[in-house]
Amino acid sequence: MKKQGVLHGELSRFIATLGHGQTLVIADYGLPVPAQVPLVDLAVSRGVPSFLDVLDAVLSELSVEKITLAKELEREHPDLFDRIQQLAAAPRELIGHDVLKERLASAAVIVRTGEWTSYANIILKSSVVF
């Protein structure tokens, strides 16, 4: 039995099996999920769990080469944008929200949170630890 880190079995398995260059998406509740992409749905109720709580937990276990955010997030929710920068110490790419949604089709997994903040989505590109 795990006693720390990501305790959700399915999410922990996806993190453990990601290869270099594959992507994991942490999403707000409203982000559309392509039918062919596996979904780990953590949403319980509005705001539970929060985007930042899930991001913090995933980053404690995943080696990240690059993060991708919608540029709209910086404009609409600068406090959240700044907090993400503090948590994720990897190079950043800013793209339009529509482009971010197009990239979902190639994600290894999408993790839905209970986040109710628009544009609270991030693509985490897996790196290697050696």
- Active site residue ranges: 20
- Angle at which helix 78-87 crosses helix 51-59, to 10 degrees, equals 10
| Element (DSSP H or E) covering residue 101 | helix 97-103
Concatenated DSSP letters for 43-94? --BTTBS-HHHHHHHHHTT--EEEEEEEHHHHHH-HHHHHHHHHH--S-EEE
Point out which residues pair with 125 in neighbouring strands: 23, 66
User: What CA–CA distance (Å, rounded) separates 75 from 64?
Assistant: 24
